Chain A
């Protein structure tokens, strides 16, 4: 039994490396096919990783949900300070930051680049703002958090001197729905490109089968089973999948490394301590495993379809 297992494993191992050797005989066409697979797989993988990075960024933003209280323009600084002491006493509020009208104007000039245009205005058009950091966002689930935050917004809206209480969450919600659209897009794209890989491998194996038609006939004549004939083609599919996956991995890593510099510069301009993650172990495993599986499945389809057609006559 053990002996039989040994020969069985040995035979598989032989075919495993034999099929690799066969591929290496024509390295150029092997590389071409693998590159097609690699490019097809690199696209969804790259998008997936970018999406993952976007989620970490938006996660940071999520915890930084703030409520901006725009004060009525008639409010004086002392009145504003009264309101601030009142707010600080509220348990739902973690931190309060006051931006006076002058400060708001200075900041706006600095950030917007409209400084000269603003000089033309006689009066400061900007209201004073109190930025409120809710303390409730630290605990509890996301939904209960957003409910509580909305309740707080309503309370703050009712305070004196407050013109508008605005929760800076709207754009996060929009970002989430945009990301949801992109995520689905990536899934659809992945599905289509996986199908493409399947067809590329299937077609390549089909050609390999036709090229070795005589050999298959001879093997059938001297008593080779379908499994015996199928094996080298399946392993060829495996190798295509593996090399395609490795090429995809290389493409993803090098493209993201190229992108990571500008992206980090961009996020730093938002004062975010974001560092781009290129590809993690799990994604690597998924990519390689997936591409090997696609290679095997593609060759299986081709072999099942075409091996039966070849019979000695």
Chain B
């Protein structure tokens, strides 16, 4: 589903955010990406979502070499990648329903379809009763769940989350993680960047560790000597 081969990212000014990254994730796999802040977690996710492009090497997502996707085609690539952010990135002047509906509106779905899919998605994260609420009236955990509902509403094959539990207490964090586990179980590839070592060490998933822009440890590789 995701394949990095010798991928590097150097920002203008000469800062190396990622160097020679190699790993592969199969469809339906769930993995954590960890490391200190500044180790390159966010940059790695940005390469997958084409917010940034690799300076060297290859990034292949869903069989497609991202270097070959032109600027105009980027939106269509992003529609297949659900993204979840630490700061939720919700629109505060629209209701929960409208926020979750946005990816579907962008894809040009009909009114009826949008209603059905948005409610299904909100139901999954347990927020069906809040569809008419504005995000500002929700708690941090609820806002994050709205963000998740929006990321999965058009059933992307790949889900990226950047510090999704960054601002949440352990209880809520576990709750959010269990939502991700559910998606993984139905075949969605999930990659979660997180520095919450305590939490992810308790979960039975692959852990990719970044250190100084390099992939220093991959639990899947160690498991098979």
Bound form: Cα–Cα A222–B91 in Å: 12
Q: Contact between A313 and B51 (Cβ–Cβ < 8 Å)?
A: yes
Q: Contact between A223 and B76 (Cβ–Cβ < 8 Å)?
A: yes
Residue in A7, A8, A222 whose beta carbon sits within 8 Å of that of B106 in the complex: A222
Q: Contact between A228 and B91 (Cβ–Cβ < 8 Å)?
A: no
Bound form: Cα–Cα A218–B151 in Å: 12
Q: Which residues of B contact A261 (CB under 8 A)?
A: none
Instruction: Give, as a whole number of angstroms, the nearest-CB distance from B158 to chain A.
Output: 12
A52 within 8 A of B: no
A273 within 8 A of B: no
Task: Please count how many residues in chain A sit with their CB below 8 Å of the partner chain's CB atoms.
Answer: 20
Q: Contact between A218 and B89 (Cβ–Cβ < 8 Å)?
A: yes
Q: Contact between A224 and B106 (Cβ–Cβ < 8 Å)?
A: yes
Q: Which residues of B contact A8 (CB under 8 A)?
A: 108
Q: Which residues of B contact A214 (CB under 8 A)?
A: 91
Bound form: Cα–Cα A176–B51 in Å: 64
Interface of B, helix, strand, loop or mixed by DSSP: helix
Bound form: Cα–Cα A224–B91 in Å: 14
Contact with A along B147-164 (1 / 0, CB 8 A): 000110000000000000
Instruction: Give, as a whole number of angstroms, the nearest-CB distance from B42 to chain A.
Output: 10
Residue in A215, A220, A223, A313 whose beta carbon sits within 8 Å of that of B91 in the complex: A215
Residue in A11, A215, A225 whose beta carbon sits within 8 Å of that of B75 in the complex: A225
Sort chain B's interface into a size bin. Answer: 20 to 34
A23-82: which residues lie under 8 A (CB-CB) from chain B? none
A115 within 8 A of B: no
A221 within 8 A of B: yes
A218-252: which residues lie under 8 A (CB-CB) from chain B? 218-226, 228
Q: Contact between B89 and A223 (Cβ–Cβ < 8 Å)?
A: no
Bound form: Cα–Cα A253–B77 in Å: 54
Contact with B along A194-231 (1 / 0, CB 8 A): 00000000000000000000110111111111101000
B174 within 8 A of A: no
Q: Which residues of A contact B1 (CB under 8 A)?
A: none
B103 within 8 A of A: yes
B83 within 8 A of A: yes
A sample of 20 more A-B contacts (CB under 8 A), given A215-B91, A222-B79, is A7-B108, A7-B109, A11-B105, A214-B91, A218-B91, A221-B49, A221-B83, A222-B102, A222-B103, A222-B106, A222-B150, A223-B76, A223-B77, A223-B78, A223-B79, A224-B75, A225-B72, A225-B106, A311-B51, A312-B51
The 4 A-B residue pairs with the shortest CB-CB distance, nearest first, are A223-B79, A223-B78, A225-B75, A223-B75
Residue pairs across A and B with Cβ atoms less than 8 A apart, 12 shown, are A10-B110, A10-B111, A218-B90, A221-B51, A221-B83, A222-B83, A223-B76, A223-B79, A223-B103, A225-B72, A226-B75, A311-B51
A→B interface (CB under 8 Å): 7-8, 10-11, 214-215, 217-226, 228, 311-313
